[in-house]
Amino acid sequence: MRSGELTCSNRLCSDPQRAFEWTAVVGVKAGTLEQGVLRLKRGAYGWGMIFARIILGHLYTHPELVDEVDAIIPMPAYLGPQQARKGNDHTGYVIERAILEDDEDLPFVLDPPLIEKTRATPRMRDTTSLIERQIAAHELYAALHVPDPARVRGRRVMVYDDVFTAGSSLNAVAMRLKASGPGGPTGDHIGGIVGGEGYG
């Protein structure tokens, strides 16, 4: 906040190419939260249930976040033939665990997916510059596919991801959802909930 006005240091805040409207951040990517994300990605699957409960608790205590949301989906991950979600799709695994624990019938959508990733792409966490993130986001956008555009038409979609740094991944997903055809979600119909916000 500067001079009583909300400010945003993320370049996407003022970028006309931003395709999503909002993000809800559960915490800052530091300490135990950061270690939990890394451990889940390295195979400590108990963290999947912990993150599922954190996300559920946040959504239950902030119902305004989901009041008008039609679908809560994970950040799409590429799964090769015969690959299980557990160990290969950590955001999908967290949503899968959340569905099992959900007592309030939140609008989670997992299978079949609203949007899918058709091939592996560079990982955002391996990028070190804005240019590298932009290239990775472009490749992610090209790899995304909406199998049934009718399922996203006119819907308000919330995308779960574990970390939000520059917003490049969320923006690529939002752009692909918007490009799914006439009546697809508009920018004000797409938002994200993230386990931790990072800086970089």
Mean pLDDT per block of 10 residues along the chain (200 residues) reads: 56 80 77 79 86 93 92 93 87 95 96 94 87 92 95 90 82 91 63 57
Judged by DSSP in three states, 9 sits in coil
Instruction: Give, rounded to a whole angstrom, the gap between the first and last alpha carbons of the chain.
Output: 20
Report pLDDT for 165: 74
Task: Give domain limits for the chain.
Answer: 17-197
pTM of the model: 0.87
Question: CATH: 3.40.50, 2.40.40, 2.40.50, 1.20.1050. Which one for 17-197?
Answer: 3.40.50
